[in-house]
Structure 1
Amino acid sequence: MKWNWQQPGWPDFTYDAGSLAEREKRFLLQSGDFLGAVRHIGDDDRDLLKIELLRDEALKTSEIEGEILDRASVQASLLHQFGLAGPSARIEAAERGIAQMMVELYRSFAAPLGEKALFDWHRMLLAGNRTIEVVGGYRTHAEAMQVVSGSTLKPTIHFEAPPSRSVAREMKVFVKWFNDTAPDGRHPLPGLIRAGIVHLHLVSIHPFEDGNGRIARALSEKALAQGLRQPSLLALAYTIERKRRAYYLALERANKGNEISAWLTYFADVLLEAQANTIRRVEFYIAKACFHNRLRDRLNERQAKVIARLFREGVNGFEGGLSAENYISITRTSRATATRDLRDLVEKGALRRSGTLRHTRYALNIPNIER
């Protein structure tokens, strides 16, 4: 089988731009909705929202690759790097590194792309890793770089990247293309198309021993931010991780040819969904502030602890809904006390109740969750 990089015309991808025009318009319209929502948040809360969005993207882009990071450590590192908190000595290298990359992406989105930036990102991502031969540089090993699954005796090869000796040449073309297609470049491209191509192009070259997917997603966000002239804070990894199998299937279908309309349509839909998720997160954040203002000093210590836990679960809420057993587990209280507390929270309008008897469940009483 010939892969995309082995075919005539590589890396000049072809696609139907007209089929994506409506999606490009929707993306720009929703960007206005995002800005409008953020304007309702004060400066201090805006900083905290930025930290939450970047933290969750850092966690999810790592989780897509099977790496589970510590949420509190990533947040602490982000707070420190934005000057919102002091340093913490207990943060591991992996958490500090992904946080550094997210901050660098946020701050330097407008800068042209260069190999130094890519190498710096790679060093941040692989900070503390002792198994990778080359950190902060392109791969050099002679054996083929393959994406495989299944047993070692009978593996399934999903993709094979260009040989290491070709990577430096391929990446020079890639970097030049990225800068030429920027909004102020020689051949500007619409945002969704550019974000989709940069992702597929980078993972097709697979220039690094590890971290290619995370860097590709970061470059897609950089491309979108350049088009919007501001950081997108897009929930891209958050959205992809929820439908990870579809993401890998779309990539696998796209790496066998250079006509990529289907890939661009798929990725544009992911970006639109990610943008909608970001807007929903902002609205949830605003609703959260209103919720706390309305119920300030009206909750006992147990109730406040459970409400804080529910908010930490985010827009999608507590999986399966909050039960009396969950309440007892979180607060370590008696069933009778839990029943009184939950009834009181419903009466105060803090929670909604659904179901009966042992199927009774509770959820935050916030209209945005209904959507």
Structure 2
Amino acid sequence: MLYATPNLHDADQAVLAEIGEMRDRLRLHLRTPRRWEGQLRRNLTARAIAGSNTIEGYAASVSDVEDIMVGEAPIEANDTVAAEIEGYRQAMTYIQRLAEAGDDFSYSKGLLNSLHFMMQGHHLLKRPGWWRSGPVYVTSAEDPTIAAYTAPDPEQVPALTGELVEWLNEGDLDAPGLVRASMAHLNLVAIHPWSDGNGRMSRALHTLVLAREGIMAPEFSSIEEWLGRARNTYRYYDVLAEVGGPVWTPDRDTLPWVRFCLRAHHQQAQTVERQVHTTREVWTGLEQALEQRDWPDRMIYALYPAAMSNRIRRATYQADAELSEQQAQRDIRELVRAGWLTAKGEAQGRYYVAGPDLPEEITHGVREPKPLRDPYA
């Protein structure tokens, strides 16, 4: 028996409808391919990866995650954090591919274990891709000697994961995709099938279910960035404890968990919608500024990350703009001389940020904070 999908109330249906409207608007924005879409997708993927790993104590900046995604050594993250980020990146990349796998796709125990191995393959002593053979306790944040949750006995894991796989393929198919994804997340994290990496796997499964339901591409639908914010992380653990109980108790009410996830999806959709709007405005402003200076429009690939308060490295610009190393170096030197970029760091660690003379009107909207609306308020 798994934790059961709850009946939704009118308030929940209203939140679902609002999320649907935001996603419809986003699909409209993305219907026509645009030059900025690749960098936006990479940034959103990096935010999701950074958020999920931050929850587990492997904090890395979004810029460092983007460096790892394009094959660059991170500037701030240590080797341990970089290995965790790279493992999660591999799993997320595969999830992005599975979103387009067609009707041949099905969930299986092998798929779950394969994703786990991608994430945890660098921890061979923890038997990545194999069910745990011993007990698992989720300890209290206040006192590590107190078990806040005790997972099912290891002998139950194969049967429970099998039941979950069967439900993923055939269960509650008439339920909204966001609700199915939330319940997949809850059940996997409660089963806790592996000795480590269960939280990240559960969040990744949440994203995979959304992708397979056709909600949106994984990078646009994941709530991992939202969950990685400190206040939301605390509430995440609280609601899991409230709904999951101190031990495996699948007859408990799961509506609080689903509402938590719907609020997360609503607020993350607000964030993504604003990010798309800001990207479009900044990109347009940069195109106009480059035209006025009679600079080649390829330079936008170097200026856009800087204008969005991120950093750019020469190798990343070279790849994005499809340039030779020499041409990329010449372009960046020109932008530095003009004060539109500023160099930081030395040698292999050199990167570039917005310079003092990058036109203020281009970056104004990036720095303007706006609150997120609580759909249940």
TM-score (structure 2 length as normaliser): 0.70
Output aligned runs, 1:218-297, within 5 Å.
218-228=204-214, 230-233=216-219, 234-242=221-229, 243-256=232-245, 258-296=252-290
Would you say 1:22 and 2:9 are equivalent positions? Answer: no
- How has the CA–CA distance of structure 1 residues 310 and 156 changed in structure 2, closer, same or farther, with 3 Å as cutoff? farther
| Selected match of 1:136 from 117, 129, 140 | 129
Tell whether the 8 Å contact from 2:3 to 2:187 is kept in structure 1 after alignment: no
TM-score (structure 1 length as normaliser): 0.71
Tell whether the 8 Å contact from 1:38 to 1:282 is kept in structure 2 after alignment: no
Task: Provide the aligned length of Structure 1 versus Structure 2.
Answer: 303
Pick the structure with greater CA Rg: 1
Q: Which string of whole-angstrom CA distances, capped at 9 and with x for unpartnered residues, describes residues 59-93 of structure 1?
A: 2111111113475664355447xxxxxxxxxx964
The Cα shift of 1:139 comes to: 0.6
**CA distance in structure 2 between the partners assigned to 1:107 and 1:291 by the alignment:** 33
- How has the CA–CA distance of structure 1 residues 350 and 128 changed in structure 2, closer, same or farther, with 3 Å as cutoff? same
The Cα shift of 1:212 comes to: 1.1
Give the corresponding residue for 2:182: 196
Runs of 4+ in 1 over 6 A off after TM superposition: 304-307
Would you say 1:33 and 2:33 are equivalent positions? Answer: no
Question: Structure 1: any 5+ residue segments left out of the alignment?
Answer: 1-9, 81-90, 315-326, 333-340, 352-363
Q: What is the percent sequence identity of the aligned residues?
A: 19
The Cα shift of 1:232 comes to: 3.9
Would you say 1:123 and 2:117 are equivalent positions? Answer: yes
Q: Which string of whole-angstrom CA distances, capped at 9 and with x for unpartnered residues, describes residues 226-260 of structure 1?
A: 22265242241111111211111111111125211
The Cα shift of 1:103 comes to: 0.9
**CA distance in structure 2 between the partners assigned to 1:27 and 1:366 by the alignment:** 24
The Cα shift of 1:207 comes to: 0.8
- How has the CA–CA distance of structure 1 residues 272 and 45 changed in structure 2, closer, same or farther, with 3 Å as cutoff? same
The Cα shift of 1:288 comes to: 2.2
**CA distance in structure 1 between the partners assigned to 2:32 and 2:360 by the alignment:** 23
Output aligned runs, 1:206-221, within 5 Å.
206-221=192-207
The Cα shift of 1:118 comes to: 1.0
**CA distance in structure 1 between the partners assigned to 2:43 and 2:186 by the alignment:** 28
Give the corresponding residue for 2:42: 51
User: Which AA in structure 2 matches 1:258?
Assistant: R
The Cα shift of 1:31 comes to: 1.3
**CA distance in structure 2 between the partners assigned to 1:180 and 1:157 by the alignment:** 34
The Cα shift of 1:275 comes to: 1.7
Give the corresponding residue for 1:178: 168
RMSD: 3.3
User: Which AA in structure 1 matches 2:59?
Assistant: I
User: Which AA in structure 2 matches 1:181?
Assistant: G
Q: Which string of whole-angstrom CA distances, capped at 9 and with x for unpartnered residues, describes residues 271-329 of structure 1?
A: 11112212222222212212312332769xxxx99995452359xxxxxxxxxxxx9xx
Give the corresponding residue for 1:86: none
**CA distance in structure 2 between the partners assigned to 1:290 and 1:21 by the alignment:** 37
Question: Structure 2: any 5+ residue segments left out of the alignment?
Answer: 72-80, 246-250, 295-300, 312-338, 345-354, 371-377
Counterpart secondary structure, 1:52: helix
Give the corresponding residue for 2:330: none
Tell whether the 8 Å contact from 2:95 to 2:218 is kept in structure 1 after alignment: no
Would you say 1:365 and 2:355 are equivalent positions? Answer: no
| Selected match of 1:311 from 308, 321, 341 | 308
Tell whether the 8 Å contact from 2:113 to 2:129 is kept in structure 1 after alignment: yes
**CA distance in structure 2 between the partners assigned to 1:12 and 1:56 by the alignment:** 29
